[in-house]
Amino acid sequence: MSSSAHTALGQRQRSTLAWVVALGTAALTFDGYDLVVYGTVVSGLMRDPAQIGHLDPATAGVLGSYALIGVMVGALASGAIGDFVGRRKVMLTALAWFSVGMGATALSTDLVAFGAFRFFTGIGVGSLVATAGAIVAEFAPPRRRNFYNAIVYSGVPAGGVLASLLALAFANGADWRPLFWVGVAPLVVLLPLAAAKLPESPMWLLARGRTSEAEALSRRTGVVLTQPARVSGESVPAHDDERSGFAGLATRRFALPTALLGLMSFAGLLLTYGLNTWLPEIMGQYGFGKAYSLTFLLVLNASAIVGGLVASATVDRTGPKRIIAGTFALAALALILLTFDMPFGVLLTAVGIAGIGTIGTQVLVYGFVSNFYTTRTRAAGVAWCAGFGRLGGILGPIAGGLLLSAGVTGQTAFYLFAVVALLGAVVTALVPHPRGRAHDDAAAASASGANVPTGVPSAEEEAAPVEGTLPDGEPEPAVR
């Protein structure tokens, strides 16, 4: 390949990756916005029955869980179809679905409508979370996947920061309807851009046996196909004996890791949703006004962005298990520190560390899961992690509401959250190393005459793993 062709192919690859990462990050920013916006308005709704009706802490916790039940449904549904219909279609549908739900919520006038539309919105959110990690993992360079996943999933705490800042601007969250109207923005801004710029995954097309389409898209996007594309001139799906979707997760190879990864996500999302929903209210019990309480929420999410990105760079070098277990333990320590009477600056620091260890940890969990599975099971694996984990997300707001309604102090709530974080560290340590049939796909592709683009790092250079390969030739994560 000539130097100019080499340069053009590399530019296409970088441009494609930039668009995928940017669109994924923007989409998950609205996921994070939806996650936090309820926490910014719940205190105001509880104090003003004229808004949507009488709301006590227990009812508020249940109401907050409706969106999370929807997220679980959406994540599992997208996992069931994402490995069969493709990542792009699911993501575009989810963006439209989410926007319509947020607009409908803004129009709600009673508890029933508010809860129903929160559930509806959650379906779109769950589909976004489950799909974004799968598609980014298939466009990112193998040895930088954790980092790019962290960028995309940092959109979640970035959305939390956005919700906190807007809540401060709108009468400290008292003027709640405009906050939900902001959620309609993806329909008019992000969806048209994604429809124009978000490609389907060539690796997914190849895994489904659509070899000609995969090769054409590979040339157009610059994405290297690292699997054999042809055998004796015939188009064949890669590894026909490997199951797709949730059926693949039930195999001996993936069953135990899938259960443990789901429990990791359960712990991470319980902490994430529990703190984002109830931290302002708990800090209010400590005597802080609404503006100060929202500041704590802002610090919680902003710290998670920085911590998640820094930790992900380390994960790409050392493997995810030690880092994730360590950040879970860090969260437990920070949550215990929050029970002490400390100066405001020290308290903010402890909240920031808690954000790194809870929301930041969940960013790392999604990266771990996205890179753990093969192309044929990736959407289902990420969906399982997001869906089952949402049970923890559902439990967090409900448990917090019940505890506060029963008169339990914020100090006890922080202790209970710390126990969950420690259990998350233990589960992380138990995740086994992924095992599969090692083979050199680059050599196989070369031997079979596969049409693999050149001029960018070869499959052997790009995907040569440190600790073996997954069945589809993708690098096995360095799990330690």
Tokens representing residue 383 in the block? 């969906």
Which residue in this structure is represented by tokens 């709530």? 413
**Selection from 432, 433, 442 nearest residue 472 by Cα:** 442
86-125: pLDDT as tens digits: 788 889 999 999 999 999 999 998 999 999 999 999 999 8
Indicate if the alpha-carbon torsion angle 457, 16, 216, 369 is positive or negative. Answer: positive
**Selection from 431, 131, 40 nearest residue 265 by Cα:** 431
Q: What is the CATH number of the domain that holds 9?
A: 1.20.1250.20
Q: Rounded distance, CA 144 to CA 318, Å?
A: 12
Q: Look at residue 214 and tell me if it is in a domain.
A: no
Lowest-confidence region among 5-19, 134-148, 272-286, 433-447: 433-447
Q: Look at residue 402 and tell me if it is in a domain.
A: yes
- The upper half-sphere exposure of residue 71, i.e. CA atoms within 13 Å in the direction of its Cβ, equals 28
Torsion of CA 91, 94, 99, 104, to 10 degrees: 180
* Counted domains in the chain: 1
- What confidence tier does 313 reach under pLDDT thresholds 50, 70, 90? confident
Q: Look at residue 478 and tell me if it is in a domain.
A: no
- What confidence tier does 5 reach under pLDDT thresholds 50, 70, 90? low
Q: Look at residue 168 and tell me if it is in a domain.
A: yes
Q: What is the pLDDT of residue 467?
A: 34
Contact indicator for 400, 413 with CB cutoff of 8 Å = yes
Contact indicator for 308, 364 with CB cutoff of 8 Å = yes
| Residue with more model confidence, 277 or 213 | 213
Tokens representing residue 80 in the block? 């069931």
The residues near 172 (Cβ < 8 Å, ≥ 6 apart) are 44, 290, 291, 294
Contact indicator for 191, 99 with CB cutoff of 8 Å = yes
Q: Rounded distance, CA 334 to CA 300, Å?
A: 11
Which residues are 234's β-sheet partners? 231
Residue 267's identity, in one-letter code, is A
Q: What is the mean pLDDT of the chain?
A: 77
Distances, alpha carbon 6 to alpha carbons 201, 203, 258, 403, in Å: 21, 21, 40, 61
Tokens representing residue 135 in the block? 């598609």
Q: Look at residue 21 and tell me if it is in a domain.
A: yes
Tokens representing residue 19 in the block? 């668009």
Tokens representing residue 130 in the block? 């489950």
Q: Look at residue 272 and tell me if it is in a domain.
A: yes
Q: What is the pLDDT of residue 151?
A: 87
Q: Look at residue 77 and tell me if it is in a domain.
A: yes
Q: Rounded distance, CA 34 to CA 117, Å?
A: 12
The 8-class DSSP code of residue 235 comes to: E
Contact indicator for 137, 145 with CB cutoff of 8 Å = yes
The residues near 412 (Cβ < 8 Å, ≥ 6 apart) are 403
Q: What is the pLDDT of residue 99?
A: 93
241-293: pLDDT as tens digits: 556 667 777 777 788 888 888 899 899 888 887 887 778 777 777 777 767 76
Q: Look at residue 318 and tell me if it is in a domain.
A: yes
367-423: pLDDT as tens digits: 788 778 777 777 778 778 777 887 887 787 777 777 777 777 777 888 888 999 999
Q: Rounded distance, CA 102 to CA 99, Å?
A: 5
Range of the domain at 7: 3-202+243-430
Q: What is the pLDDT of residue 174?
A: 57
